[in-house]
Structures are given as C-alpha cells and as structure tokens.
Amino acid sequence: MQDQAVHLRGGYQGIIELPATAGVRPLGEIVARRQAGSRSRIGVTVHHALADAEIAWRAFEHEAIGLGFQTFDWIKAWHVQVGAADGVEPAIAFVSLDGVPVMLAAFGIERRYGLRCLTWLGGKFVDYNAPMLSPDFAERVSPEHFAVMWQKVLAQLPPHDFIVLENQPSHIGATVNPFVTLAGDVAPDKGYVFELPETVDEFYAAFRSETRRQDRAKWRKLEALGALEFRIAANGEEARRMAADILDRKASKLREQGVASIFEDAGYCAAYIALAALPPKRQLLQVAMLTLNGEFLAGSIAHVFRGHATLMVHTFEGHPRQSPGRLHLLRLMETSIEAGHLFYDLSIGKLPFKESFCAEPMALTNFVVATKPWGLAAANATRAKFALKRRVKASARLMQWLRSFRLMLK
C-alpha cells in the first residue's frame, strides 16, 4: 500500500478514491485544491541589477518563448541610456518549479505620483510587455497555479505601493500570457500583427488587383526619375548611421505635427543606436532605407526576433503622390517573407495604413492595482487616465480634435 499513499507535494500518482463518507469531501476534490499550490515547489529569485541577472537571463532566453523586447540586450540598451537616469530600479524575477526555470519577468520600481510603482522594465522603448516562459510553461502551470506563483513573486519583490503592468499581449507565441489571467482592463491601444504567407505572390494576391496595379505604377514612376534603391544596412556601422538619420527625421516630422515623442529624447535615440551596433549573432534591428538618386524617401527601424518582425520606426518624405512610405513597407514585407519570417507586426496604435494590412488587431491588457492603502489614489488615477485615453482613441471626432489642439500648441 506504500505506492498508493497520498503525497500532497507529489504528482498524485496511484491515488485510490475511497468510498464517500457523509460530511467528508471526496479525496479527489481535496487533491485538486492542493494541486495548484503544492504540486511543485515554486522558487523565486529577484535580481536588483542587470549585471547580476545577465548570465541566467541570456541562458534562459536562449530556449524560452518570448518577445525580443524582453531580451537582455534590448532591456540593457534602454536601462543604460534611459532607465538608470530616470531612477528605475530593476527587480528581475526568475521563477522555477522544482528547481527548473519556467519564467523570467523583468520588472522595475519607478516613482509615479511620488509613490513606488511596480512596472515592466523598458518604458516607451517596449511596445509589448510580457514575461519570458519555458516552452512547457502552459503544460506545467495552470491559471490557478499561476495565481499562487504570482503571490509568491510579489512577496519577494521590493516594497511598492501600486502596480501598473500595461500593453500586455494575450499570447506569447502560441502560449497564453499568464499575466492576462489577472483581473485587468482592455488597454487603449491594440497591436497590429498578422501572419505572413510563404511566398511573395501569396502576399500580393491578398490585395485587390487595382491596388496591385497602382503600387506597381508608382514604383515605375519613381524609377523613371532616377536610381531608386531599397537598402537594408549590411553591417553595424551602416546601421548606426542610417538609424541616426531615420530617428532625426522621425522626430522632425512628429514635431511638425505637434506631437512630443521619445525620438526627441537623446537617451532613447542612443539606445536604438547601441542596439544597431550589436554584433551580427546578437543583432535585433533591421534598419532599411528607400532612396532616389541618393536622396531619402523612406526609412524604417524594425525589430526582428525568431521569425517575428516588428516595425518600430517608420518615416517618409517627398513625392507624396507615389506613396514612398507604402512602397517601402511593401519591400520590408517582401524581405521578411523571403527570410522566412512568420509574422509581421506594425506595432501598437491605430493608423489607416495598418488596417489595410491587418484586419483583426490584437487586444492588449493593462493590470493596475494598489498594493498599499496609500497607493489606491494613484492606481485609480492611472485607471482613469487609461479609460479616458481608450475613449478618445475609440472616437474619430475626439482624435481629430486632439490633433487640431496639438497643432495649435506648436
């Protein structure tokens, strides 16, 4: 009978369901309740400096399911140039089950409303916030088990007054993002990501014949004006030069529209340029430019990680009737298809050109909660801000008013 004993910390193998006894819960029910928290030993280690976490982080991301935004190189570039200067304190949580790593969550503590706020590292340098997960995370961790895991993580993190985890995607690859199982709200923005076909011909077949004809005609008209070249930076030095030029042009264009942006911030620009200079084996950026007779028409900085390309920066100027911005995008997507990328991501934020490529945007989630009584006002203010932003973005009329107001303030 030794093999049939009930081990509440084990895998519950060989359990015998005894006959029901009046007033006593069935053994299976007791086991199920215990299983979520006791099936595996949950270990949590929190690092307070990127240097302390680097070895374990790089080792875990090599095999993990995740987004390039949460790679060590991406977060380091941001923190060195922006986060540290802003006083953001890393709180990088490694979570294991029975000694095997299953999750890396790169949190930080920053000041908001004069209080300590727990948030994801990366700030505005990250479009999608999520953990990195082991490939078998979904099999090993149920939503109930994650709820227990989350409480253990919170207990190990530095003291904080409220939590703001924003722009969290529903999935990381094919795996459900466990953080969206927390009681969150729909974020104001959505992500515009779509699956790429296997061939360029299939990609263009999705457009109306009239649209295809117009795109070809515009390309030919530009070619008739001289040397038209679409180029992707071939090395780190070229990527740095091109990225610096694209970032400066993007900042100028947004400034003309009365929009404040991270591209005005020297720290964020330096972070992009630092990423562009990474060695080939660790390269995350794809920097591209479309020129006519050597003069700039369009440029982009995309983030490429494990078959997922994300457009981070896109700007264009001159020859508006020939739509150089769209032609540049089409070349980018052709390049991704030829490289075997699985997804193209036009990033967060609603724009007409994104809807022409992606019919079903991806909903994102914000999780905001107070962890101390004095953090309640800050959490409520943050939720109210997100709700207002969501309402404005859902109304074409309000968005037009906002654009007009920005131009008045120039």
DSSP for 204-240, please give it. HHTS-HHHHHHHHHHHHHHHTTS-EEEEE--SHHHHH
pLDDT over threshold 70, residue 198: yes
pLDDT top residue among 356 and 38:
356
pLDDT, tens digit, for every residue of 131-173? Answer: 999 999 999 999 999 999 999 999 999 999 999 999 999 998 8
The whole-angstrom distance between residue 223's C-alpha and the CA centroid of its chain comes to 37
What are the sequence ranges of the domains in the chain?
A: 2-38, 42-186+366-408, 197-341
Contacts of residue 331, Cβ cutoff 8 Å, sequence gap at least 6: 230, 288, 290
Q: Which residue has the higher pLDDT, 192 or 396?
A: 192
Tell me: pLDDT of 401 over 80: no
Cα 45 from chain centre: 23
Q: Where residue 14 falls among pLDDT bands split at 50, 70, 90?
A: very low
CB 109 within 8 A of CB 89: yes
Task: Check pLDDT > 60 for residue 23.
Answer: no
Average pLDDT, the chain: 88
Structure tokens at 126: 């990250």
Between 31 and 368, the higher pLDDT residue: 368
CATH number for 42-186+366-408: choose from 3.40.1000, 1.20.1440, 2.60.40, 3.40.630: 3.40.630
* CA–CA dist 325, 222 (Å, integer): 13
Let me know if the fold of 42-186+366-408 is the same as that of 197-341. yes
User: Which H helix or E strand runs over 52?
Assistant: helix 50-63
Phi, psi of 177 (to 5 degrees): -70, 115
Q: How far apart are the C-alpha atoms of 242 and 230, rounded to whole Å?
A: 13
What architecture does CATH give domain 197-341? 3-Layer(aba) Sandwich (3.40)
Task: In whole angstroms, give the CA distance from residue 129 to residue 119.
Answer: 9
- Residue 144 makes CB contacts below 8 A (sequence gap 6+) with 36
Percent of the chain at pLDDT above 90?
Answer: 78
Q: Does the pLDDT of residue 227 top 90, yes or no?
A: yes
pLDDT above 60 (res 226): yes
Q: Does residue 59 surpass a pLDDT of 60?
A: yes
Please name the amino acid found at residue 377: A
Average pLDDT of 95-107?
Answer: 96
Is the pLDDT confidence value at 11 over 50?
Answer: no
Please report the sign of the dihedral spanned by the C-alpha atoms of residue 260, residue 264, residue 267, residue 272: positive
According to DSSP, residue 24 is labeled S
Assess whether pLDDT exceeds 80 at residue 86. yes
Query: Does residue 140 contact residue 99 with C-beta atoms inside 8 Å?
Result: no
CB-based contact 267:88 (threshold 8 Å): no
> Mean pLDDT across the stretch 219-245?
96
Instruction: Return the bridge partners of 106, or none.
Output: 92
Query: What is the C-alpha separation between 285 and 353, in angstroms, rounded?
Result: 22
Cα 12 from chain centre: 38
Residues 6+ apart with CB under 8 A from 24: none
Mean pLDDT of 244-256: 94
Supply 156's token pair.
Answer: 């190990």
Helix (H) or strand (E) holding 266: helix 266-276
pTM to 2 decimals? 0.85
Least confident of 141-155, 190-204, 381-395: 381-395
Q: What is the per-residue pLDDT for 359?
A: 82
